[in-house]
Amino acid sequence: MNIASEYNLNDMVAAWAVEIFEQAEDQDEALDLAHQYADGSEWVIYHHKAHELCAACNTDMGEDFIKQCGEPEGGWTYDGFASAIALGEIHGRLQAATQDLYEIAEENKESE
């Protein structure tokens, strides 16, 4: 994703969810991979990209993530806050997209 936008973020997350679904042996491993993908994302580790994502995309999941985690020891920095919101947003979207893939796979098994 070169430019942060709702469309590009959704597209990136959807592609990653498929990769995760194909790599994981089970849903627990998929959720662990989702965290790794989000945590290693350039949109999380590079502060200027995190700021761009926060400015251009819906960050409801990221803000909920911040509420759940609380304030880190030593307090927030401007850059750290943006990266934490970006991490929470990407991670939340990845978890939801991966969960959807598992539900679809389960429905397909049941209908066979």
Mean pLDDT across the chain, nearest whole number? 94
> Vertex 80, ends 79 and 84: CA angle to 5°?
120
pLDDT of residue 35: 96
Residue 30 lies in a domain: yes
Residue 104 lies in a domain: yes
Residue 71 lies in a domain: yes
Residue 16's contacts (CB-CB under 8 Å, 6 or more residues apart) are 34, 37, 94, 97
Query: Position of tokens 């939801």?
Result: 96
Looking at 19-112, which runs of residues are DSSP E strands?
A: none
Residue 69 lies in a domain: yes
pLDDT of residue 109: 85
Query: What domain range is 31 assigned to?
Result: 6-111
Residue 1 lies in a domain: no
For 72, which DSSP code? P
Q: What is the pTM of this model?
A: 0.91
Residue 98 lies in a domain: yes
Q: What's the pLDDT tens digit per position in 72-110?
A: 888 899 999 999 999 999 999 999 999 999 999 999 888
pLDDT of residue 111: 81
Count up the domains in the chain and report the number.
1
